[in-house]
């Protein structure tokens, strides 16, 4: 069966001319949408769904990329979201690193509603500027800590989370926050960074989780305790 699927995939592999056509179409789509020069590479055809995915790059700025998709003849991309997420990463890096002593790693993403992306596509504001203009976005923050969450240190850990939540609320930031606590032995096992897309792989080290779907609902430290899962 695997060999048959492989043969079918090989038979469905687009020609070089087809790849170049899709590449040119994608670059033209990005230029028209954002008013800047881009190039795409790493094109991949998914024959089962007759669709494409590829990586997009801003010509004027090296060192980062984003996804571009073609499905049913239509293009979509993650450029707007990735750009805002990079802004958020820079803004929150010093805050998170200062707040959490046992930080393993963290990530954040910002997702704006389609109408916001369409409105600002040709003149993308910074994340801080966007927040002054609209609330039609959502920031997701995920943090991994090498701390065994216990009854003894629970209040201290809640205090740290509340510090971050307070910053978010004081700056009127719409956010979802997950703080994952792991036994410090996770580092000795060779884990340098937690892959947040594969959390089940670290279940044996998990000692607790604070899961807040909407930080604006947190008015006091006691509210964080209600979102603690052990």
Per-residue model confidence as pLDDT tens digits over 181-215: 999 999 999 999 999 999 999 999 999 999 999 99
Percent of the chain at pLDDT above 90? 90
Can you give the pLDDT at residue 62?
85
pLDDT tens, residue by residue, 119-154: 999 999 999 999 999 999 999 999 999 999 998 999
pLDDT value of residue 70: 97
pLDDT of residue 6: 54
Is pLDDT above 90 for 31? yes
Per-residue confidence (pLDDT) for residue 64, from 0 to 100: 87
Res 4: pLDDT: 45
- Our CA dihedral for 122, 123, 127, 132, rounded to 10 degrees, sits at -120
Is the pLDDT confidence value at 5 over 60? no
pLDDT confidence bin for 13, thresholds 50/70/90: confident
Q: Which of 159, 161, 205 is closest to 184 using CA atoms?
A: 205
Tokens 């504001």 belong to 125
Asked if pLDDT for residue 35 goes beyond 70, the answer is: yes
Query: In what helix (H) or strand (E) does residue 98 lie, and over which residues does it extend?
Result: helix 79-99
Q: Dihedral, CA atoms, 42, 194, 138, 166, nearest 10 degrees? A: -150
Share of the chain above pLDDT 70, in %: 95
Whether residue 196 contacts residue 107, with contact meaning beta carbons closer than 8 Å, is answered with yes
Question: Is pLDDT at 11 greater than 80 in this prediction?
Answer: no
| Angstrom distances, CA of residue 43 to CA of 24, 46, 63, 69, 137 | 12, 10, 18, 10, 29
pTM score, whole prediction: 0.88
């Amino acid at each position: 069966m695997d060999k048959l699927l492989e043969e079918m995939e090989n038979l469905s592999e687009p020609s070089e001319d087809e790849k170049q056509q899709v590449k040119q179409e994608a670059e033209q789509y990005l230029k028209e949408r954002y008013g800047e020069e881009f190039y795409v590479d790493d094109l991949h055809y998914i024959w089962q769904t007759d669709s494409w995915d590829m990586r997009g790059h801003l010509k004027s700025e090296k060192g980062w990329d984003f996804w571009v998709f073609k499905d049913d003849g239509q293009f979509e991309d993650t450029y707007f979201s990735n750009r805002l997420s990079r802004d958020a990463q820079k803004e929150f890096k010093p805050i998170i690193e200062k707040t959490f002593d046992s930080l393993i790693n963290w990530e954040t993403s910002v997702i704006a509603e389609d109408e916001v992306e369409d409105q600002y596509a040709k003149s993308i504001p910074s994340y801080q500027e966007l927040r002054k203009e609209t609330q039609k976005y959502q920031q997701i923050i995920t943090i991994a800590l090498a701390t065994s969450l216990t009854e003894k240190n629970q209040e201290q850990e809640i205090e740290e989370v509340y510090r971050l939540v307070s910053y978010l609320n004081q700056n009127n930031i719409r956010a979802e926050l997950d703080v994952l606590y792991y036994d410090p032995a996770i580092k000795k096992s060779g884990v340098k960074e937690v892959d947040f897309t594969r959390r089940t792989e670290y279940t044996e080290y998990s000692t607790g989780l604070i899961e807040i779907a909407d930080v604006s609902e947190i008015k006091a430290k006691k509210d964080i305790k209600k979102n603690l899962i052990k």
